[in-house]
Amino acid sequence: MNDKELLNLAEEINNGRVFGDWMLDKEENGMVLSVFMTLIFLNDKMRQKLIDDKVVAIYEHLSEAGNMSVNGLPTFLSCHYITEPEMKRLNPMVEKLKAAMTKAKNDILVGSKSTRIVRRGGLNA
């Protein structure tokens, strides 16, 4: 993925529109095949390609989730991969966007304490 695509993915992650295997608890780690069902159909050659490509994460947009869930987790019939080099570029983007969003929210909250909203016609309208 190029930087623009990674930045879009970082934004989608921060906005809660992506489900990734990194969201599974250690106890749920065995659920990867139940969540990303297409992985069941990978043959040995395909699995080796994922290893060779240094795939470190699997994700999908929640809008692509199926109608059923397994143990409360979404299920997908498609998925995308993130390679190790991509993850090294993606993580700082996610963190920077998260920090910027937190700062913006705090700025708005602090500003709202000193800002009065006046309705048309005055305060008593």
Report how far residue 28's alpha carbon sits from residue 56's, in angstroms, rounded to the nearest whole number: 17
Predicted confidence (pLDDT) at residue 120 exceeds the cutoff of 70: no
pLDDT in the model for residue 23: 92
Terminal alpha carbon distance of the chain: 54
Q: pLDDT for 29-58, tens place per residue?
A: 789 999 999 999 999 999 999 999 999 999
Closest by CA position to 65, among listed 57, 56, 73, 74: 74
* pLDDT classification of 13: cutoffs 50, 70, 90: very high
Buried-state track 99-108, b at ≥16 Cβ within 10 A, e below 16? eeeeeeeeee
Of 63, 84, 87, nearest in space to 74 by CA: 63
Residue 118 has pLDDT above 60, yes or no: no
Tell me if the pTM is above 0.75: yes
- The answer to whether residues 59 and 38 touch, using CB atoms and an 8 Å cutoff, is no
Q: What pLDDT score was predicted for residue 121? A: 57
What does the block give as tokens for 53? Answer: 């490509």
